[in-house]
Amino acid sequence: MIRIAIVEDDRHDREALKKCLNRYEKENQMKFSVTEFQDGEDIVTDYTASYDLIILDIEMAFLNGMKAAEKIRELDTNVIIIFITNMPQYAIQGYKVNVLDYILKPISYFSFSESMVRALAKVKTPEKEYITIVLKGGKKKLDVARICYVEVQDHVLIYTLWMGILRQRAL
């Protein structure tokens, strides 16, 4: 599931974005989890790096999109940001905060879908890392994220996992 934040102060533009997301989701057999914010201040307050994509309006009342993007980048360098604006002169400033794209208002589905294709191509699904350990009777591929800690007792490695324990004789 792709986690998306919409940060838009205008209700009509927010609704247009949600319609575009719903259409894109259906046409491409994808699943989105969408969270809405009405101002840049709302998203940066207690920001957690939990979004894959942020669609961010530039002109907002309290904290504009450019300042919000700067604060987000301090905490999250991986999130994809797309600006939506009716002011194309902000395009150059977007390079400072590593914005992927701009969508001009009024929002058209065609430009929206082109931006989504580029954005979703960059969304990375976390890759699992594995190690292979030798056990009696063969080898076991072990997800590194499951390892809580490893200890040695009498030349035996003991892997304590989040869901169980494995023992391996040290070579």
Q: What are the pLDDT digits (tens) for 137-162?
A: 667 777 787 888 888 888 888 888 77
- What does the angle CA 158 – CA 161 – CA 166 come to, to the nearest 5 degrees? 40
pLDDT at 10: 93
Question: Hey, what are 171's tokens?
Answer: 């070579």
Please confirm whether the linkage preceding 126 is cis (ω < 30° from 0). no
Q: Scan for tokens 């992927």, then name that residue.
A: 100
Contact of 88 with 102, CB cutoff 8 Å: yes
pLDDT at 34: 96
pLDDT at 161: 79
pLDDT at 39: 92
Helix (H) or strand (E) holding 91: helix 91-94
Q: What is the pTM of this model?
A: 0.71
